[in-house]
Amino acid sequence: MRSKSERWWRDSDFGGIYRELFPLIFRVAFRIAGERGLAEDLAHEAFLRLLNRDAPLPSIDETKYWLLRVVRNLSLNHEKRRARERRAVGRLEQEGPRLAVPADTPLMQAAARDAVQEALNELPHNMRSAIVLREYAGMNYRDIASVLGISEGNVKVRLHRARRQLARLLSDGVPHVS
Amino acid sequence: MCPERALLSPYVDNEIGPAGARRVELHVAECRSCREQLRAYQTVSHALLESREPDVSAAGDRIWRRLDTMRGALRGQASFWTRGVRVPAPVAVALMAGVTLFLTSVAMWSRVNDARLELPAFGAAAVGAAAVGVIAASAQPVQWLEQGAIVIQLPDEPQFIQRGMPTILREAELTTVSARPAALP
Ligand SMILES: [Zn+2]
């Protein structure tokens, strides 16, 4: 007997799903992650997990929401881990001699990014993912709520705060790199 | 602060009914502060959409090739014996530990026998040959992994991220993609 995932990709058209959903998934990944390399890793991982699923999702919309949820969760985990590592490096810097920053750190890549993405990166993850789903995926409050697993009221509050903060950051000129 | 302030963002998103929209429009016509806030929100939306983004189709090609190398295991008809198997990561680790333990114990056992029981030379040679055979066989799983016949199944929870995986895949891409470029569907 062949494995389930082997069968379902034979029956359905993975290439078609990829072609239809990749641009959206990648844009959202890029805007949430803030850098291209990480966005590609997130999008790759999300489609890989789709490929490894035992059963297909019932519709293209549900496939889209599933992929968006995976991208959002992966990026949140990545950010938490990076914050932990940064705290650890901070402790080391206080204790011992200053560590040299390698050339390819997110900090260096940040210099090449534009002010809008910089401002987005300054938002807390929960506000950022809400505004990105709204502005780059064109989703309504109900769908954003379903992807983020929160209430519609909560979506409204996060979007309001995200906009207020973005308006402030962008009117201050180029935001500082934290 | 005006109570209408909280309606500005949903208004931008078209998420309040016609009555709500009318209320916002009447209010911003009167209130300068809310009018400016609304304009700021609209400017933010515009700036987000105008902001530069990386080449999406180039990224799409790159990731498609990465996925394609991973899909090797799912391709082609296979008999019962040559069909790919999925091994959960903990089981894979346990198996590797088991093989290592087995090899160590075989080596120890043969040494013990050599020293104390004065096994005939022929017997010692046989044990030695068996150990060499096991060591040679232990290279086989690596080959299976490379061929995609064995896929180590990592946890499927969305909270799990495969650390270091992308780097490994980029390496794989360098070696396989240059030889066999995959076309987008
Ligand atoms: Zn007002």
DSSP string for residues in B15-27: -S-HHHHHHHHHH
Domain for residue A165, yes or no?
Answer: yes
**CA-nearest residue of chain B to A8?**
B74
The total number of structural domains in chain A stands at 2
d(CA B185, CA B175): 22
State whether A34 and A84 are in the same domain.
yes
Domain for residue A3, yes or no?
Answer: no
> Cβ contact (<8 Å) for A26 and B59?
yes
* A19, A160, A168, best to mutate vs chain B, most B CBs in 10 Å: A160
Which of the listed residues A71, A103, A135 is the one where a domain comes to its end? A103
* Cβ atoms A15, A9 nearer than 8 A: no
* Cβ atoms B8, B24 nearer than 8 A: yes
State whether A40 and A94 are in the same domain.
yes
Q: Which domain holds residue A22?
A: 11-103
On whether any CB of chain A is under 8 Å from the CB of B104, the answer is no
Q: Residue B158 is nearest to which of A26, A70, A134, comparing CB atoms?
A: A70
Domain for residue A33, yes or no?
Answer: yes
Within 8 A of B13 by CB-CB distance, chain A residues are 134, 140-141, 159
Domain for residue A125, yes or no?
Answer: yes
Domain for residue A95, yes or no?
Answer: yes
State whether A99 and A36 are in the same domain.
yes
State whether A98 and A176 are in the same domain.
no
**CA-nearest residue of chain B to A171?**
B40
State whether A90 and A29 are in the same domain.
yes
* Cβ atoms A118, A177 nearer than 8 A: yes
Domain at A130, CATH number: 1.10.10.10
- What ipTM goes with this model? 0.79
> Cβ contact (<8 Å) for A2 and B83?
yes
Q: What is the pTM of this model?
A: 0.63
- Would you give per-residue pLDDT tens digits along chain B (185 residues)? 899 999 999 999 999 999 999 999 999 999 999 999 999 999 999 999 999 999 999 999 999 999 988 766 555 433 333 345 566 777 777 887 887 887 878 777 776 665 554 444 554 555 555 555 555 555 665 666 666 656 665 555 544 444 444 544 444 444 443 334 445 54
State whether A147 and A91 are in the same domain.
no
d(CA B113, CA B120): 10
